[in-house]
Amino acid sequence: MEVIKTDILILGSGGAGLFAALRAYDSNPRLRIIMATKGLIGKSGCSRMVQGGLNVVLDEKDSLEKHFKDTLKGGGFINNQELAWTLVSEAPKTVHELEVKVGCFFDRAENGKIHQKAFAGQSFDRTVHVADLSGIQIVSRMTDQIFAREITVFEETRGLDLLRSKDEERIVGAILSNIRTGEIFVVNAKVTIVATGGSASMYKISAPSFDKTGDGMAMCFRAGAEFVDMEMVQFHPTGLIAGRSRLNGSLLEEGLRGSGARLYNGLGERFMERYDPEHLERSTRDRVARSCFMEIMAGRGTENSAVYLDASHLGAEFVEEKFPGMVERVKDIGKDLAREKVEVTPTAHYQMGGVGIDTRCQCNLKGLLVCGEDTGGTHGANRLGGNGICESTVYGRKAGDVAADLALEEDMHPYLDSQAEKIRMRWLKPFLQGSGENVYEIRDEIEDLMWEKAGLVRNGSKLTEAAHRLDQLLEKIDSAYVADRYRAQYNMEWNNIIDVTNLITVCRMVVNSARCREESRGAHYREDFPETDNEGWLKNIYQKMGDGFQLELTQKPVVLNRFKREEIEDRFFEKVKQH
């Protein structure tokens, strides 16, 4: 295998990976930086798909404390409070840098200041945006800045596994695969950053880009990283119903609901009056998504097992001006968002759980930094809309700074050639099998299994069934084969085998953690334990790989070092409203 040496290796080119590369380079332009992206830089991943915007405290009537408390309350109080505080306190300087240095131009209010709009679950309108195309602006401008610097970019190149040093004490790079050529090669790095995103595509109805299959999480798991609260998977309430189209499950962002769009069931009832009469459609994502799901399951949905989102009363001109991206998306399926109600359903969107990190993006593995959706702890049990791209940019920025410092401190550590060769042969195994399991059938089963047994509403017996079946599917995918055995170039069947192997790896952690948490909190709802149990379950659930690819699980009390749960009650938000 070819071996490439570099100071910093970054896996992923979304908001987190891009900002990490920019900050590392600007810290020291002499550093050798390689960024590998599974797709095309600036054109793939989920940061580009962000519609709503980025939460940040800019108005003098707002405060970091309000944003922080909103984040904790939305997260069911199991957030890592240091991570959450870093998120909100670093957001203002991050947005300033995005505008002044990166070149993002956020929408302006009439007074010339950055416009901030309403998002669900927040006590103040603090979401900065570019109409409903915020992600395109952020990713495009950061990509421009990458091209203006001497940063090496490997497009259509995916990570296969992380490499350990000879003494097995640190991560020293990764084994990569060039999708275009099929070549497998080594990048030996002083510091490795994983920022590849989550794996909500494990569900049959999902919002992420199709290439987001938990690759980084799975690589970190196999390398021995510790994960936190993997049961917490967010379902966005309003995914577009589009049949078998690739648009099925794509988001109609909550800025619509923040502006006054309403939800109706198939009977024409505004059903959020039943579930959250105070906040209605502006309730948190977990509540709205679960309410939509329960209406559908109760037989009050549409004939397509959906509910209706109606923005027509806001006025066609307003909707077309403020939400042009969504108007065009809906038009692609023959509907008019500005003038008629549109069918929507909950859609798997985001993972709050992930690799456990500190505020410097460091995990339990030396030499490895993790940022963005690959990490857990910041959002607790539920992420507020607008805190996602905020996390990506805040912690991508942080990871770049830390990586630059570590790259100057560390020497290049060698790895075992035998380790690299073992990884290479493992992933080439599908080419060596003349027959076996069909990867596409396995992926379809995973998506149905996770939706039905580990989705919005869970119970112990279904989760146990899912865990057992996932163990079987892990064995089945090991027997998957490539029909076109003599072509590695753009062999999508082979790449799907890699994707599905990673998906199963992450699914097992999600189900294992969901079985453990015998209560309902945030995005995790157990119909056999429907109440939130703050006495017994104000805990974080940690897990990592044990012997034989088994899962080792531990529980630890949430560290309430800044605010206690009792200090963040509804009366706080009532005072904010009155003020």
- pLDDT tens-digit readout, 478-513: 999 999 988 999 999 999 999 999 999 999 999 999
For residue 569, name the pLDDT band (cuts at 50, 70, 90).
low
Q: Which residues on neighbouring strands pair with residue 350, listed in sequence order?
A: 234
All residues at 6 or more sequence positions from 498 whose CB lies less than 8 Å from its CB, including other chains: 158, 160, 177, 215, 427
For residue 550, name the pLDDT band (cuts at 50, 70, 90).
confident
Q: What is the pLDDT of residue 225?
A: 97
579 burial type by CB count under 10 A (0-12 exposed, 13-18 middle, 19+ buried):
exposed
What count of Cα atoms within 13 Å lies in the side-chain half-sphere of residue 292?
A: 28
285 part of the active site: yes
- Average pLDDT value for residue range 32-61: 90
Token pair, residue 13, equals 């080119």
For residue 576, name the pLDDT band (cuts at 50, 70, 90).
very low
Domain residue spans of the chain? 236-349, 428-538
Contact assessment for residue 38 and residue 44, using Cβ atoms and an 8 Å cutoff? yes
Token pair, residue 472, equals 């079987």
pLDDT, one tens digit per residue, over 408-443 is: 998 899 999 999 999 999 999 999 988 899 999 999
Tell me which H or E stretch contains 234: strand 233-240
Residue 295: C-alpha distances to residues 307, 364, 456, 568 (Å) = 8, 43, 13, 30
% of the chain at pLDDT higher than 90: 78
CATH of domain 236-349: 3.90.700.10
Q: Is the dihedral of CA 394, 398, 401, 404 positive or negative?
A: negative
Range name among 128-132, 143-147, 216-220, 367-371 with the lowest pLDDT average: 128-132
CATH of domain 428-538: 1.20.58.100
For residue 574, name the pLDDT band (cuts at 50, 70, 90).
very low
Contact assessment for residue 33 and residue 7, using Cβ atoms and an 8 Å cutoff? yes
Range name among 101-105, 212-216, 319-323 with the lowest pLDDT average: 319-323
Exactly one of 48, 126, 285, 290 is catalytic; name it.
285
Q: What is the mean pLDDT of the chain?
A: 92
4 burial type by CB count under 10 A (0-12 exposed, 13-18 middle, 19+ buried):
middle
Closest CA to 438 of 477, 488, 495: 477
DSSP 326-357: HHHHHHTTT--TTTS-EEEEEEEEEES-EEE-
pLDDT, one tens digit per residue, over 167-183 is: 888 999 999 999 999 99
| CA 331 centroid distance within chain | 27
Contact assessment for residue 473 and residue 446, using Cβ atoms and an 8 Å cutoff? yes
The single-letter DSSP state of residue 410 is P
Q: What is the pLDDT of residue 118?
A: 82
Residue 529: C-alpha distances to residues 92, 253, 457, 524 (Å) = 39, 30, 11, 10
Q: pTM of the prediction? A: 0.92
Tracing tokens 């603090």 back to the chain, one arrives at: 126
Q: Which residues on neighbouring strands pair with residue 55, listed in sequence order?
A: 127
Contact assessment for residue 100 and residue 147, using Cβ atoms and an 8 Å cutoff? no
The single-letter DSSP state of residue 383 is P
Token pair, residue 323, equals 């939400």
Tell me: pLDDT of 323 over 50: yes
Tell me: pLDDT of 578 over 50: no
Rounded Cα distance, 206 and 223, in Å = 27
- Mapping DSSP to helix (H, G, I), strand (E, B) and coil, where does residue 73 land? helix
All residues at 6 or more sequence positions from 19 whose CB lies less than 8 Å from its CB, including other chains: 142, 392, 393, 396, 397, 399, 400
Amino acid 17 reads G
Radius of gyration of the chain (CA): 23
| CA 488 centroid distance within chain | 29
Q: What is the pLDDT of residue 575?
A: 43
Closest CA to 427 of 321, 500, 356: 500
Contact assessment for residue 565 and residue 537, using Cβ atoms and an 8 Å cutoff? no
For residue 52, name the pLDDT band (cuts at 50, 70, 90).
confident
Q: What is the pLDDT of residue 98?
A: 96
Residue 224: C-alpha distances to residues 75, 187, 364, 489 (Å) = 26, 19, 8, 31
Tell me: pLDDT of 188 over 90: yes
Token pair, residue 336, equals 């008019």
Rounded Cα distance, 233 and 46, in Å = 16
* Residue 574 phi, psi dihedral angles, 5° rounding: -65, -40
Rounded Cα distance, 15 and 20, in Å = 8
pLDDT, one tens digit per residue, over 67-97 is: 999 999 999 999 999 999 999 999 999 999 9
pLDDT, one tens digit per residue, over 364-393 is: 999 999 999 999 999 999 999 899 999 999
* Residue 446 phi, psi dihedral angles, 5° rounding: -60, -45
